[in-house]
Amino acid sequence: MSTVPATAAGRELFRHALATLAYRGGKAVRNARSNFAGFRLSETTRTPAEILAHIGDLMDWALSILKGAQAWKDSLPRTWEEEVGRFHASIGALDAFLASDQPASVSLQKVFQGPIADALTHVGQLTMLRRQAGSPVRGENYFLADIETGRVGPDQPLPRREFG
């Protein structure tokens, strides 16, 4: 398997992927109804709060992998506001590591194909659950979105071009 070393260009692309995750995830959780955190589609599905806690766990795991001390933790969900804060803080910690000169202990591709791709999938689940819960997130032309490397906090810009 060909890998891209954790060069400056590779790190910048990875950081942009994190900014994309923060933007899309921020949109999925922004202005959610107060009862959304506990919404359950069926007995066997996770609630949005459980999904958001899992995304935080994925980001923490990704950072531990990059630092060479892989550690997994299953967190119980906190309040919705705390989980939204953790979502952005955990992406921020990962972004800060990649913005530093600390060496990555594994290829960025491996981290992307595991925890980052999983987190993007879960953001899609949150978006789908918003629709099911009666509070849909409008579709958007993400190509035109104002996504900026390094902007991973809750201060995400509003959409430039939504559909419908």
Q: From the centroid of its chain, how far is CA 95?
A: 11
Model pTM? Answer: 0.94
* DSSP classification of residue 116: I
Tens of pLDDT along 44-70?
Answer: 999 999 999 999 999 999 999 999 999
Angle at 120 between CA 114 and CA 121, to 5 degrees: 85
Contacts of residue 21, defined as CB under 8 A and 6 or more positions apart, other chains included, come to: 91, 116, 119, 120, 123, 152
Q: Return the biggest CA–CA distance within the chain.
A: 46
pLDDT of 2 strictly over 60? no
User: What does the pLDDT read at residue 1?
Assistant: 39
> Per-residue pLDDT averaged across 116-139, rounded?
97
* DSSP classification of residue 134: T
The alpha carbon dihedral of 75, 81, 84, 90 has a sign of negative
User: What does the pLDDT read at residue 3?
Assistant: 43
> Per-residue pLDDT averaged across 98-120, rounded?
96
User: What does the pLDDT read at residue 7?
Assistant: 83
Cβ proximity of 109 and 4 under 8 Å: yes
- C-alpha 160/C-alpha 158 separation (Å) is 7
- pLDDT above 90 covers a percentage of the chain that reads 90
CA distances for 110 relative to 16, 26, 44, angstroms: 16, 24, 29
CATH superfamily of 8-144: dinb family like domain (1.20.120.450)
User: What does the pLDDT read at residue 75?
Assistant: 97
Q: Terminal CA-to-CA distance of the chain, rounded, Å?
A: 42
Tens of pLDDT along 65-97?
Answer: 999 999 999 999 999 999 999 999 999 999 999
User: Which residue, 83, 71, 76, is CA-closest to 25?
Assistant: 83
